[in-house]
Amino acid sequence: GAGVSQSPSNKVTEKGKDVELRCDPISGHTALYWYRQSLGQGLEFLIYFQGNSAPDKSGLPSDRFSAERTGGSVSTLTIQRTQQEDSAVYLCASSLQGAITEAFFGQGTRLTVV
């Protein structure tokens, strides 16, 4: 596709359930980011994939959060045993090289934990 695609656009889940959020980056982009944005708050960095390097997981808030990037393309963010405080918009971005090049963002997945 022409841009970063995220799915689903909206997800409602029950507390304690696991969820998977998907990000399809722009083709050829080697860098991929995940961010979280709670209502009325700023963007919280979660994890960063750059090429074949080990991902920067320094922003993951707990061990319930994990992410994979398969084949250097599609990424999945998994949240296990969801809590109400996990409710937020989860944004994915990709960039050509992850350095000076601009990052392109998807429209996000709105996660609501009830």
Q: Which residues bind other proteins (CB under 8 A)?
A: 4, 33, 35, 42-43, 45, 48, 50-51, 53, 56, 91, 93, 95, 97-100, 102-108
CA dihedral 89, 99, 29, 112 (to 10 degrees): -10
Please identify, using beta-carbon distances, which residue of 79 and 91 lies nearer to other proteins: 91
Pairing relation of β-strands 10-13 and 109-113? parallel
Nearest approach, Cβ of residue 34 and other proteins (Å): 11
Nearest approach, Cβ of residue 59 and other proteins (Å): 8
CA angle 45, 24, 89 (to 5 degrees): 40
Please identify, using beta-carbon distances, which residue of 59 and 73 lies nearer to other proteins: 59
Buried b (16+ CB within 10 A) or exposed e, 50-89: beeeebeeeebeeeebebebeeebebebebeebeeebbbb
- Tell me 54's DSSP state: P
Please identify, using beta-carbon distances, which residue of 43 and 74 lies nearer to other proteins: 43
Please identify, using beta-carbon distances, which residue of 66 and 83 lies nearer to other proteins: 66
Nearest approach, Cβ of residue 78 and other proteins (Å): 20
Nearest approach, Cβ of residue 81 and other proteins (Å): 27
